[in-house]
Amino acid sequence: MPLSHPTDDFRLAYDRHGEPGAPPVLLLHGWPGDRTDMGAVAGRLAGSHDVVVPDLRGFGHSDKHDRDPAEAYSAAAQARSLVALLDELGLSGVVVAGCDVGSRVGQQLGLDRPDLLRALVLTPPAPGVGPRILAEDPMREFWYQSFHQLDLARELVDGDTAATRAYLRHFWSHWSGPDFTPGDERLDQLTAVYGPPGAFVASVGWYRAGGGVVARSLAETVPDPADRIAVPTTFLWPEHDPLFPRDWSDRVGEFFTDVTVTPVDGVGHFVPVEAPDAVAAAVSAATAP
């Protein structure tokens, strides 16, 4: 497991699969996960791509610092570390595939450094939700984002292995599709990286920095056409995601110049884990000549 050179004093742990010189791919996990969320996708791509799979700042085996979240864990901060990693590895023309937090960070890369990217392959969240986030059903689902803002989250969860495991199990069970159940081995692995003191709080630095869907949806404004993300983008939209119903895909064209929404039936929020073939196929299509 190599570590990147530090950016803002953060080093990223990452895995690299495949052969240097093949079409490059960057796979970005979400919350509450780590880089192993992308393991099955990486395995399907390794024979024909150069695949880099990092832990984002504050996750997995990457550095976790108790810093001002707005400075250390925002989308822009996460993107800085990834740009530095790509530069360190000498990669450009990259297809970035992201889920959950990784999707938002991928979108930030598309805004900040489109010159480094060939395409984006993303799962929700997507922009365009707007005030629909305040309806009764969505607010019932997004309670955790307000909880993550409280010091109580640190007091109740951080450093408590049993509480961490129960908290993670709730989301992996509730957000997944009807045919997926997180196994004990998976939960044990995630508990091992989220359970140590400071690890859970670092992981929710994203939300404390304003990266959550509720804050972003209420603050978003439709960009001028010249300011839309111009990198070709595919959204893989799952059927059974309780957070992001498919009708919330109706406005993505207001934020992207070249975007396609592709339904993925039978699965929930964790598309790279539940349907790795779909993600790998979309990435391969984006790298095809």
Residue among 14, 73, 167, 207 flagged as catalytic: 207
Percent over 90 (pLDDT), the chain: 95
Is 28 a residue whose pLDDT tops 90?
yes
CB 219 within 8 A of CB 189: no
Is 269 a residue whose pLDDT tops 90?
yes
Q: Is 269 part of the annotated catalytic residue set?
A: yes
| pLDDT at position 233 | 98
Mean predicted confidence (pLDDT) in 233-262: 97
| pLDDT at position 75 | 96
Residue among 100, 158, 194, 241 flagged as catalytic: 100
Q: Is 65 part of the annotated catalytic residue set?
A: no
**Structure confidence at residue 128 as a pLDDT band (50, 70, 90):** very high
Q: Is 100 part of the annotated catalytic residue set?
A: yes
Is 211 a residue whose pLDDT tops 90?
no
Is 244 a residue whose pLDDT tops 90?
yes
In order of their start, the domains of the chain are 14-287 (3.40.50.1820)
Q: Burial level of 175, CB count in 10 A (0-12/13-18/19+)? A: buried
Percent over 70 (pLDDT), the chain: 100
Q: Which of these, 109, 127, 119, lies nearest to 56 by C-alpha position?
A: 109
Tell me the sheet residues that pair with 237: 263
Element spanning 237, H or E: strand 233-238
Mean predicted confidence (pLDDT) in 11-39: 97
Q: How far apart are CA 125 and CA 189, in angstroms?
A: 25
**Mean pLDDT rounded to a whole number for the chain:** 96
Mean predicted confidence (pLDDT) in 77-81: 98
CB 84 within 8 A of CB 4: yes
